[in-house]
Structure 1
Amino acid sequence: MITVKDTVHDHIEIDGVAAALLDTPAVQRLRHVKQLGTVQLVYPSANHTRFEHSLGVYHLARRALDHLEIEGRHADRIEAAAMLHDVGHGPFSHNLESLTHRRTGKYHDDVGELLATGEVGAVLRDHDLDPGHIADIVGGEGTYGQLVSGELDVDRMDYLVRDAYHTGVPYGTIDTGRFVRELAFVDEGDDADAVGGSRTLDGPSLVLDEGNVQTAESLLLARALMNPVVYTHPVARISKAMLRRAAADLLDATSTSAEGLRRMDDHDFLAALRGCSETAELSRRYDERDLYKRAVWAEYDDVPDRVHEADHDTEVSLEREIAEEAGLDREHVLLDVPSEPSMRESTARVTVNGEVRRLERQSPLVSALRTAQRNQWRLGVYAPAAATDRVGRAAADVLGLDPDALVSEVRKAMPTTLDEFE
């Protein structure tokens, strides 16, 4: 047995297949992939990695298995999946995932090939575990996949408390002990309130036991509060957009493949950017925190439907139009259109008066938080500081926005010092 001292869960004991997986290259690589990507440019202590998060997910999975009295082969599979659930992440975690998905068709949880080969595959087979089955659990498939990737998964429980701890914000604190103790597998049967509109499972659903509506709401609230102050902070969004552009330019300018990019860690990626003439300037800006600034920061209802619905090629075309109207090269204009507001946690299931119900149909908080989420949504257009005024005016014209309401608002809020910007 291996014992690891963790900042969040204190001592984590690792044994069995998880201990054998710990020192494989695929898992050790996660020591060099930051959990929060570019958020460290806002919160300097947010340097925790996907490696320590994977240990935390494994730890919470073990506690859940003990509570649910799941043993033997089923437990081994879940423990392996918990330890391996993030090995498919590319550099800077989710930041580049939209790019690599467009070029490979794979998300970070598409790990079938990765688990079937190399040392990971050998370890799994040595423990009489089918790599394909473990990959399915990582992807949230089947009854037990819900524990690793679902509405009440141990992944979410760990990253919220871990991200809150390392950023120092007081919003992501949830009672992981209570969550784990109150989990249960139930057969929903044909209950319309439980099933209507949600995904269909071949077996029982993972729910929170009787009397835990507020427990489920705490997860929802923690995620909703962390989103604007950490995950979608303007500085984090601008730096992410800059790295996405640099990554696309790297793939276009060099022999680096999208599959190769997925297997890099943060250090590999930054080194590749610095060594490529087409990406050297964006790399310098990131290294020196000389970031682009906001030229437009538009609310959801102020953005036309055609922009909300734009695919990647359309966004690139809009960037070119904005740059041309502003008299700039496209490389100096970044259009950042977030995905539609969503709240996966709202479909978590809770037991109320002996009946399984979806949280969104039980809790009045869900509607309020959905409204707040929509109100927090912002479209961003970024450019070098000296060009924000003309880029803002050009973007307002090309995108069909109100220039007085949008560009002037950003200009008035434009920082004069680093501290004011953050």
Structure 2
Amino acid sequence: MPKHIKDPVHGYIEVPADLVPLVDTTIVQRLHHIRQLGFAYLVYPGANHSRFEHSLGAMHLASLLCGRLGLGESETKTICAAALLHDIGHGPYSHASERLMQEYEHFSHDDISIHLADPAIDAQLKKISVSPDEVAALVAGGHPHSGIIHGDLDVDRMDYLLRDAHYTGAPYGNFDTGRLIQSLEIVSGKLVLNQSGISAAESLLIARTLMGPTVYYHHACRIAEEMFLLAGRSHFGSDATGVEQFMHLDDVTAAAVLLNSPSATTRDLIDRIRTRRLYKRSVYAGRELVDIDHLPQTKESVNRMHQAIVETASVRDEDVILDIPPLRKEIRMDVLVRRHHDLVPFNEIVPMLEMMNATRHGQWRLGVYAPAELRDRVGEAAREVLSLRHATKQHKLTGII
């Protein structure tokens, strides 16, 4: 029998009978205990939703879209299984631990092959005649129908924008999912947007752009994530195997590991996050104040700059966090739009992409963070070492988001 689950975003979600045993596996149930938005709960107290409910939401939207596209029962079952399982590769605190793992070896949460090899998952997929290799390809982007799960207008993005907006209270993530799904079709094996769905697609683009600085890159979320990374480096040192094992934990068990670390630095940082005694912004500079071309590009050069700030400020290494994020990738919409009898690239019809990308570039910030009592001292040292330009009134105005 199928199960019906009440969801605050989509209403009732039906889990097909074939997929119910997948939902009940340990690997999927683990997602109950991984926050969808990592440390965003420190800013938005309602942001305690989990990867589990997002996975159900993505599966629900995948089912609706498969029905709209007229896909067969076997294809629909495989795609819905992929949507349900697409996040099982996430480690504790979602993207925060992914960044930690990437410092030790190549890692992507979209590569779920190792998790699909779990005996319980593998047995259940084969029992319902779903290929684990096909599921992995759908999630990683190497399948003819990957656009449903891993594309520019995918069900993953549709669900997380709506869900994150709902739980944070931020109004910027809302758009017409129903209209968007009803406007998608398959032409020559590719997912194509009907002209009637352009406004819904534009709304999704705007949501992606505005949710960035408001939620995903909010400075307090960024600071907590950087503190978590510093705690992880201090705890694991060069132990890549330990980090790999850590990635299989959930938020609660991961916090317990770090709170009981032999490293005093790790224990202090995790306790600060738990009690919201976060580091403060000593420097928080946009592109107009930073010489982007002369920023350090390698881990070694970043470490040297960090050390220079530490020495100039006469503080401990762990009292300074230098955060130089990569420039945000430009939004690209490799989607064709059906306009009358023609298929036209989305970019030719919707010129707002250039504006959206300019806005995303303007959202970039270089940060130097320190404990509250050291904020001013570290800030002076950082401005000297980084040779930051002085902000003009115009710069201050353009830096507001």
Q: Answer yes or no: same fold by TM over 0.5.
A: yes
Q: Is it true that 1:244 corresponds to 2:245 in the alignment?
A: no
Residue by residue, what CA displacement relative to the aligned partner does 1:61-112 show, whole Å, maximum 9, x if unpaired? 0000111111132212101100000000011111221221232312111111
Look up the match of 2:361.
374
Look up the match of 1:405.
391
Q: Is it true that 1:325 corresponds to 2:326 in the alignment?
A: no
Look up the match of 2:280.
293
User: Retained in 1: the 8 A contact 2:289–2:391?
Assistant: no
Q: Against the structure 1 CA distance between its residues 301 and 358, is the aligned structure 2 distance closer, same or farther, given a 3 Å change threshold? A: farther
Q: Distance in 1 between matches of 2:83 and 2:366?
A: 35
Deviation at 1:253, TM superposition (A): 7.9
**Which residue type is aligned with residue 24 of structure 2?**
D
Look up the match of 1:104.
105
Q: Gapped runs of 5+ residues in structure 2?
A: 397-401
Deviation at 1:139, TM superposition (A): 0.8
Q: Distance in 2 between matches of 1:315 and 1:272?
A: 28
Look up the match of 1:135.
136
TM-score between the two structures when normalised by the length of structure 2: 0.92
Aligned pairs for 1:37-52 within 5 A: 37-52=38-53
Deviation at 1:113, TM superposition (A): 1.4
Q: Against the structure 1 CA distance between its residues 30 and 374, is the aligned structure 2 distance closer, same or farther, given a 3 Å change threshold? A: same
Look up the match of 1:354.
341
User: Retained in 2: the 8 A contact 1:250–1:256?
Assistant: no
Look up the match of 1:54.
55
Q: Which has the larger displacement, 319-328 or 53-62? A: 319-328
**Which residue type is aligned with residue 377 of structure 1?**
W
Q: Distance in 1 between matches of 2:373 and 2:335?
A: 47
Deviation at 1:399, TM superposition (A): 2.2
1:282 aligned counterpart, secondary structure: helix
Look up the match of 1:413.
none
User: Retained in 1: the 8 A contact 2:179–2:197?
Assistant: no
Look up the match of 1:273.
258
User: Retained in 2: the 8 A contact 1:30–1:265?
Assistant: yes
Equivalent residues, number: 392
Aligned pairs for 1:95-174 within 5 A: 95-174=96-175
Identity %: 39
Look up the match of 1:224.
209
Q: Gapped runs of 5+ residues in structure 1?
A: 188-203, 411-422
1:143 aligned counterpart, secondary structure: coil
Residue by residue, what CA displacement relative to the aligned partner does 1:361-390 show, whole Å, maximum 9, x if unpaired? 321221222121112211111011121222
Q: Against the structure 1 CA distance between its residues 371 and 125, is the aligned structure 2 distance closer, same or farther, given a 3 Å change threshold? A: same
2:173 aligned counterpart, secondary structure: coil
**Which residue type is aligned with residue 391 of structure 2?**
A
**Which residue type is aligned with residue 292 of structure 1?**
Y
Deviation at 1:133, TM superposition (A): 1.8
Q: Against the structure 1 CA distance between its residues 135 and 308, is the aligned structure 2 distance closer, same or farther, given a 3 Å change threshold? A: farther
Deviation at 1:280, TM superposition (A): 0.7
User: Retained in 1: the 8 A contact 2:331–2:353?
Assistant: no
Q: Is it true that 1:396 corresponds to 2:383 in the alignment?
A: yes
Look up the match of 2:399.
none
Deviation at 1:309, TM superposition (A): 5.9
Look up the match of 2:190.
205
Look up the match of 1:387.
374
Q: Distance in 2 between matches of 1:230 and 1:362?
A: 29
Q: Distance in 2 between matches of 1:173 and 1:255?
A: 40
Q: Which of the residues 296, 316, 319 maps onto 2:303?
A: 316
Deviation at 1:19, TM superposition (A): 1.5
RMSD: 2.1
Q: Distance in 1 between matches of 2:336 and 2:246?
A: 37
Look up the match of 1:34.
35
User: Retained in 2: the 8 A contact 1:53–1:159?
Assistant: yes
Deviation at 1:256, TM superposition (A): 6.3
Q: Distance in 1 between matches of 2:20 and 2:227?
A: 38
TM-score between the two structures when normalised by the length of structure 1: 0.88
Q: Against the structure 1 CA distance between its residues 312 and 350, is the aligned structure 2 distance closer, same or farther, given a 3 Å change threshold? A: farther
User: Retained in 2: the 8 A contact 1:332–1:384?
Assistant: yes
Q: Distance in 2 between matches of 1:317 and 1:292?
A: 21
User: Retained in 1: the 8 A contact 2:134–2:143?
Assistant: no
Q: Against the structure 1 CA distance between its residues 307 and 49, is the aligned structure 2 distance closer, same or farther, given a 3 Å change threshold? A: farther
Look up the match of 1:417.
none
Q: Distance in 2 between matches of 1:301 and 1:15?
A: 52
